[in-house]
């Protein structure tokens, strides 16, 4: 097997045909190549590796150089996508070899964390990933928001094609990333795929600042308005966007949109009928997963006042002993030869850093081994937090 990096038009002959077979309906050759040529620019900065046998591509993996908020610090993040093996070459270790190489390359390139959307969580658990919370959607009739349509709200709304509203939408995602643990955004070359989409955008503005943005399309007259995430910085932005949706009462039967974490749509109006849903299906609609690629790369993230030595085991990227010191309020990381207070797998460590599992659960899930008294120190060092991954890929 030969592993090599591909870029540009070479993707059309190597990685894309495998991805197309794995993830698309069976189309005609022509439709595939026209579509993939069109989306080529959105992959231009990806790190793509392929495995070859006798010159033929048998497997491919990619990483998108993204950014993510980790406990208040914005860090480079490797978004893994396009993982596919030729149907006759599956279960022969190709993806294991490619993924290990890809994650090592992304770590060496300064990405201390990685996120992906798994087809099956057990597959990526073998690679040190741990599940993060799944997004929620809300479905409701705009009629339920009638009061908001009549309310006098500070600020104003702008309604445009996404091509024209994209800059405001993008600016808001960048602001939200700075505020929310786990929030991640695409690099420009990929984010512009939204700008080029056939969608509408409504943005909310207060005092010259973008405080809300929603991209959407109307699927059918008197049918559904399907929106992306209801992005806002707080009650003003949200109320303005909801008042916009309320004005579609004679145009669509229902609105479906994605929610930011912590939203309580049942409180948006009186007598408001709304269905919120967390859809987790495996395979099909699994929650995102994340892992740490470099502990040293996390130096400086906000921590609680605790210090201890941990040993990370069974992982080609992280294996070793580290002293983690959060007593200054920011994480300091040093390789150490001191006895370790806790043994952690990469997934166990990642669960602590992302704040998604309690130390007790880490032991129960066999993602780590440590005495009960160490659980307190780990909890103090990495207090629980709810990460929210914005970008879908
Ligand atoms: C999923 C897929 C990428 C796996 O590729 P592969 O080259 O067959 O994987 P490998 O042979 O390298 O297997 C890696 C490990 O995962 C295990 N594994 C493979 N397929 C698995 C599956 N479907 N479920 C759970 N574990 C699986 C292997 O046993 C192996 O474990 P080990 O190294 O501990 O022995 C491939 O089957 C595929 O292309 N599927 C269709 C597209 C897809 O679903 N891609 C994933 C998108 S997130």
Q: Please identify, among 247, 277, 307, the residue that sits at the C-terminal boundary of a domain.
A: 277
| Helix H or strand E segment including 48 | strand 47-53
Ligand 1, atom 10: closest residue by C-alpha: 93
Same domain, 7 and 68: yes
Say how many domains are in the chain: 3
CATH code at position 142: 3.40.630.30
**Distance between CA 243 and CA 246 in Å, rounded?**
5
Query: Measured from the CB, is residue 221 less than 6 Å from ligand 1?
Result: no
Q: Please identify, among 60, 94, 111, the residue that sits at the C-terminal boundary of a domain.
A: 111
Match 């200054």 to its residue by tokens: 328
Same domain, 140 and 31: no
Query: Measured from the CB, is residue 21 less than 6 Å from ligand 1?
Result: no
Query: Measured from the CB, is residue 343 less than 6 Å from ligand 1?
Result: no
Same domain, 200 and 331: no
Q: Sign of the CA dihedral 367, 370, 375, 381?
A: negative
Span from the CA of 220 to the centroid of ligand 1 (angstroms): 39
Q: Is residue 180 part of a domain?
A: yes
Same domain, 145 and 248: yes
Mean pLDDT by 10 residues, the chain (393 residues): 97 94 82 86 97 97 98 98 97 98 98 97 97 97 94 95 97 97 97 94 97 97 97 97 97 98 96 96 91 98 97 98 98 97 98 98 98 96 96 77
Same domain, 144 and 268: yes
Span from the CA of 91 to the centroid of ligand 1 (angstroms): 6
Phi/psi of residue 99, nearest 5 degrees: -65, -40
Give the residues across from 68 on adjacent strands.
Answer: 75, 184
What is the domain extent for residue 17? Answer: 2-111
Confidence at residue 343, expressed as pLDDT on a 0 to 100 scale: 98
Confidence at residue 88, expressed as pLDDT on a 0 to 100 scale: 97
Q: Is residue 287 part of a domain?
A: no
Q: Is residue 358 part of a domain?
A: yes
Query: Measured from the CB, is residue 231 less than 6 Å from ligand 1?
Result: no
Ligand 1, atom 3: closest residue by C-alpha: 84
Same domain, 268 and 141: yes
Q: Is residue 195 part of a domain?
A: yes
Query: Measured from the CB, is residue 152 less than 6 Å from ligand 1?
Result: no
Please count the other Cβ atoms lying within 10 Å of the Cβ belonging to residue 302: 16
Q: Is residue 386 part of a domain?
A: no
Same domain, 250 and 329: no
- Which of 247, 257, 176, 174 lies closest to 216 in space, CA to CA? 257
Confidence at residue 35, expressed as pLDDT on a 0 to 100 scale: 86
Same domain, 302 and 372: yes
Confidence at residue 101, expressed as pLDDT on a 0 to 100 scale: 98
Same domain, 270 and 299: no
Query: Measured from the CB, is residue 100 less than 6 Å from ligand 1?
Result: no
Q: Is residue 179 part of a domain?
A: yes
Query: Measured from the CB, is residue 15 less than 6 Å from ligand 1?
Result: no
Span from the CA of 130 to the centroid of ligand 1 (angstroms): 17
Q: Is residue 45 part of a domain?
A: yes
Span from the CA of 96 to the centroid of ligand 1 (angstroms): 8
Q: Is residue 120 part of a domain?
A: no
Same domain, 333 and 244: no
């Amino acid at each position: 097997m030969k592993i090599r990096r591909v870029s540009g038009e070479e993707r059309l002959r190597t990685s894309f045909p495998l991805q197309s077979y794995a993830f698309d309906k069976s189309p005609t050759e022509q439709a595939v190549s026209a579509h993939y040529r069109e989306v080529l620019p959105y992959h231009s900065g990806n790190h793509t590796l392929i495995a070859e046998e006798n010159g033929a591509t048998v497997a491919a993996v990619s990483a998108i150089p993204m950014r993510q908020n980790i406990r208040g610090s914005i860090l480079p993040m490797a978004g893994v996508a396009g993982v596919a093996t030729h149907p006759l070459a599956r279960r022969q270790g190709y993806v294991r070899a490619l993924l290990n190489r890809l994650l090592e390359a992304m770590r060496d390139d300064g990405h201390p964390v990685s996120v992906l959307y798994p087809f099956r969580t057990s597959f990526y658990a073998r690679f040190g990933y741990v599940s993060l919370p799944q997004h929620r959607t809300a479905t409701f009739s705009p009629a339920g928001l009638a009061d908001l349509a009549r309310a006098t709200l500070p600020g104003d709304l702008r309604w445009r094609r996404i091509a024209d509203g994209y800059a405001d939408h993008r600016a808001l995602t960048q602001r939200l990333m700075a505020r929310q643990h786990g929030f991640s955004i695409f690099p420009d070359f990929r984010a512009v795929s939204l700008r080029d989409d056939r969608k509408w955008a409504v943005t909310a503005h207060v005092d010259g600042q973008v405080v809300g943005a929603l991209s959407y399309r109307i699927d059918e007259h008197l049918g559904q308005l399907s929106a992306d995430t209801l992005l806002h910085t707080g009650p003003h932005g949200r109320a303005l966007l909801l008042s916009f949706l309320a004005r579609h009462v004679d145009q669509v039967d229902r609105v479906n949109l994605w929610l930011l974490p912590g939203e309580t749509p049942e409180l948006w109006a009186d007598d408001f009928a709304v269905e919120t849903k967390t859809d987790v299906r495996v395979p099909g609609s699994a929650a995102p997963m994340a892992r740490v690629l470099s502990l040293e790369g996390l130096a400086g993230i906000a921590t609680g006042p605790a210090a201890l030595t941990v040993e990370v085991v069974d992982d080609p990227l992280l294996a070793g002993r580290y002293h983690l010191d959060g007593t200054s309020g920011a994480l300091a990381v040093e390789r150490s030869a001191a006895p370790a207070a806790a043994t952690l797998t990469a997934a166990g460590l990642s669960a602590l850093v992302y704040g998604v599992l309690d130390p007790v659960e880490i032991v129960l899930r066999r993602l780590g081994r440590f005495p009960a008294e160490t659980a307190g120190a780990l909890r103090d060092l990495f207090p629980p937090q709810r990460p929210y991954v914005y970008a879908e890929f």
